């Protein structure tokens, strides 16, 4: 256990330190983590023997819950409304059509049994949300005709259908008496019902203001995410579909301080993505991959250049989609972690197959990410689908008006310069706005002619500063006997460029001026350039 924790901690640390460097590479960053896992693996540099399929399946399945929930939570329905119907068709009929086409190819060309061929098609029939989200965000790839929203919704919602088809194929191959329509209908109905019900109930509870602290609200949503998967799964429904729909409901609900929830789930989901790809790289045995390389290359080429384009054309043409949109949608059908996790489930079922399904799907995913993921920005440019005047961030619900607006409070004490002045006379910069005046407990929405009075509490709004790459803010405790103790701020040496922005004095917060005297026990909050930290 200690070795496992040491390994996971080291990998996460390496991944975090590498993240900025990886953003500059042309290849998808998740592909690097996959390669990193292979370096740690049995045939890699560190030669760690690892073949715990059951453990990896459990960890990756839990990580997929995070990815599915956050995929829904980050989907902006308002931005995606023009393409909701297209996304729904691609994530259902598109997945089924892709599975059938690849199954026919494997049956006719690779000469595999029909059910085995259909299982391969089902496992790789969904596109990968983690890969699509990562490329669109890291490359700031905004696409015309709401195509970025279309890809996000499709990739976020098509894993459940692929999972259902995989489960059905495994049941048939095991010789079980299965009614395929009833199985799929039951999974769909329970998944949709529990997802919407859990999302609506959670949003209602959050609006009741029962949870006062942001920490408790975050933990509450963490629990809701797990329940949204577990409840339908325990009843025979599709937990991934439920988690995705619950995320959509909550992400598009009016929740206070949503940006803090987004920041939390953004970090957790990124770690989940990294962990999945690292573990899958660690689990694979590279010396066994050449045995499946040619069939994997054949399936990937057919999937990329025949099956996916045909399915996208057949399903998007009735919506009168431009050819450029059809082309980029077809190329952006990246395969990813979900397909490999579903392949692990098939391996654990113990069903004999001609090819090792895990290694076969691993190669297909590796080729898909390396070719399609790397060339996606270039293909978008060749098809004239890049929208340079748009912001891909607007397709996510974390891009909200509240996300980059901060509020500050100013109290007008006796003799304050603003007392007796109207708001229009304050000569504030255009980026700073008086949003509210609190006068004796009464909230006033100010106008230009609103006159300010002594005792008013002003709330000013401005764009928040979040990029602290070149600014360091730190706390400096003032010990008894310090050369700063007993000195007014104006007399402090300014040999370094820094500013004392506030003083913590016991339970009191002091906004300092030049005449403020520093006392022993004070904690100074100092801002200074990063290079001087």
- The C-alpha atoms of residue 511 and residue 503 are separated, in whole angstroms, by 6
Shared domain check, 420 and 325: no
In a domain, residue 396? The reply is no
Same domain, 414 and 506: no
SS3 of the chain: helix, strand, coil, percent, to 5:
60, 10, 30
Same domain, 54 and 136: yes
pLDDT tens per residue across span 375-412: 999 999 999 999 876 666 655 565 444 445 677 888 88
For residues 157 and 15, membership in a common domain is answered with: yes
333 with 423, same domain?
no
Q: Are 243 and 68 in contact (CB under 8 A)?
A: yes
Full residue range of the structural domain in which residue 327 is found: 2-388
Same domain? For 439 and 348 the reply is no
Our measurement of the distance from residue 385's CA atom to the centroid of its chain's CA atoms, rounded to an integer in Å, reads: 23
Which of 357, 388, 419 is the C-terminal boundary of a domain? 388
Last residue of a domain, one of 433, 463, 493: 463
How far is Cα 530 from Cα 21, in angstroms, rounded to an integer? Answer: 19
The answer to whether residue 281 sits within a structural domain is yes
Q: How many domains does the chain have?
A: 3
Query: Per the domain annotation, does 399 fall within a domain?
Result: no
- What distance in Å separates the CA atoms of residue 157 and residue 41, rounded to the nearest whole number? 32
Q: Which one of 437, 463, 489 terminates a domain?
A: 463
> What is the predicted pLDDT for the residue at 528?
77
Domain for residue 398, yes or no? no
Six-digit token string for 435: 């949003």
In this structure, what token pair is assigned to residue 348?
């654990």
CA distance 226 to 265: 13
The answer to whether 15 and 274 are in contact (CB under 8 A) is: yes
What is the full per-residue pLDDT of the chain (533 aa) written as tens digits?
A: 676 677 777 777 776 677 667 666 666 777 888 888 898 888 888 788 888 888 889 988 999 899 889 888 888 887 788 899 999 999 999 999 999 999 999 999 999 999 999 999 999 999 987 778 777 777 778 899 889 889 988 988 898 889 889 988 998 898 887 777 888 888 889 999 999 999 999 999 988 878 877 788 889 999 999 999 999 999 989 999 899 999 999 988 888 767 778 878 888 888 888 888 888 998 999 999 999 999 999 999 999 999 999 999 999 999 999 999 999 999 999 998 889 999 999 989 888 899 999 999 999 999 999 999 889 999 999 999 998 766 666 555 654 444 456 778 888 888 888 999 999 888 888 778 888 899 988 889 898 889 999 999 998 887 766 555 566 777 788 888 888 888 888 887 666 677 888 888 876 778 888 889 999 888 888 887 765 44
pLDDT tens digits for 428-474? 887 788 888 999 888 898 988 899 999 999 988 877 665 555 667 77
Kindly report the CATH number assigned to the domain that includes residue 207: 1.20.1530.20
CB 246 within 8 A of CB 69: yes
Task: Say if residue 459 is in the same domain as residue 482.
Answer: no
Give the CATH number of the domain where residue 499 resides. 3.30.70.1450
Judge if 106 and 122 occupy the same domain: yes
How confident is the model over 232-286, as pLDDT tens digits?
999 989 999 899 999 999 988 888 767 778 878 888 888 888 888 888 998 999 9
393 lies in a domain?
Answer: no
If asked whether residues 298 and 425 sit together in one domain, one would say no
């Amino acid at each position: 256990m200690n070795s496992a924790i040491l390994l996971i901690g080291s990998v996460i640390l390496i991944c975090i330190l590498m993240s900025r460097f990886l953003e500059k590479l042309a290849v998808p960053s998740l592909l690097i983590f996959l390669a990193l896992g292979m370096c740690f693996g049995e045939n890699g540099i560190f030669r760690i023997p690892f073949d715990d399929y059951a453990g990896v399946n459990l960890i990756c399945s839990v990580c997929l819950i995070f990815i599915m929930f956050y995929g829904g939570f980050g989907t902006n329905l308002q931005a995606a409304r023009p393409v909701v119907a297209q996304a729904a068709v691609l994530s259902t009929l598109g997945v089924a059509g892709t599975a059938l086409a690849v199954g026919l190819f494997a049956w006719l060309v690779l000469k595999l049994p029909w059910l085995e061929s259909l299982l391969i098609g089902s496992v790789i029939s969904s596109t990968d949300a983690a890969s699509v989200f990562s490329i669109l965000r890291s490359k700031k790839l905004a696409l015309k005709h709401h195509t970025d929203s279309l890809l996000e919704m499709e990739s976020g919602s098509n894993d459940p259908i692929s999972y259902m088809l995989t489960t059905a194929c495994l049941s048939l191959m095991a010789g079980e008496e299965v009614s395929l329509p009833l199985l799929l209908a039951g999974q769909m109905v329970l998944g949709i019902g529990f997802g919407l019900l859990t999302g609506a109930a959670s949003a209602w509870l959050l609006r009741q203001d029962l949870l006062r602290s942001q920490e408790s609200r975050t933990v509450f949503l963490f629990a809701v995410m797990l329940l949204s998967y577990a409840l339908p799964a325990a009843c025979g429904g599709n937990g991934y579909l439920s988690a995705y729909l619950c995320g959509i409901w909550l992400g598009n609900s009016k929740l206070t301080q949503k940006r803090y929830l987004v920041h939390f789930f953004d970090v957790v989901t990124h770690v989940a993505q990294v962990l999945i790809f690292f573990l899958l790289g660690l689990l694979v045995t590279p010396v066994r991959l050449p045995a499946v390389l040619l069939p994997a290359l054949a399936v990937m080429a057919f999937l990329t250049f025949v099956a996916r384009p045909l399915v996208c054309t057949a399903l998007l043409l009735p919506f009168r989609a431009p050819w450029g949109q059809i082309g980029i949608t077809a190329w952006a059908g990246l395969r990813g972690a979900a397909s490999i996790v579903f392949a692990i489930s098939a391996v654990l079922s113990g069903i004999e197959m001609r090819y090792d399904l895990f290694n076969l799907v691993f190669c297909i995913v590796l080729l898909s990410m390396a070719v399609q993921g790397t060339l996606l920005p270039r293909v978008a440019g060749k098809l004239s689908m890049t929208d340079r005047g748009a912001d891909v961030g607007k397709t996510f619900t974390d891009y909200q008006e509240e996300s980059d607006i901060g509020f500050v409070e100013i109290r007008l004490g006796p003799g304050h310069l603003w007392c007796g002045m109207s708001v229009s006379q304050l000569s504030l910069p255009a980026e700073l706005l008086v949003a509210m005046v609190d006068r004796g407990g009464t909230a006033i929405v100010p106008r230009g002619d609103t006159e300010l009075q002594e005792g008013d509490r002003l709330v000013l709004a401005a764009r928040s500063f979040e990029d602290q790459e070149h600014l360091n803010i730190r706390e400096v405790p003032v010990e008894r006997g310090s050369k700063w103790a007993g000195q007014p701020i104006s007399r402090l040496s300014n040999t370094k460029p820094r500013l004392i922005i506030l003083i913590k004095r016991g339970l009191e917060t002091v906004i300092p001026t030049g005449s403020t005297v520093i006392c022993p026990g004070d904690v100074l909050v100092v801002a200074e350039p990063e290079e001087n930290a």
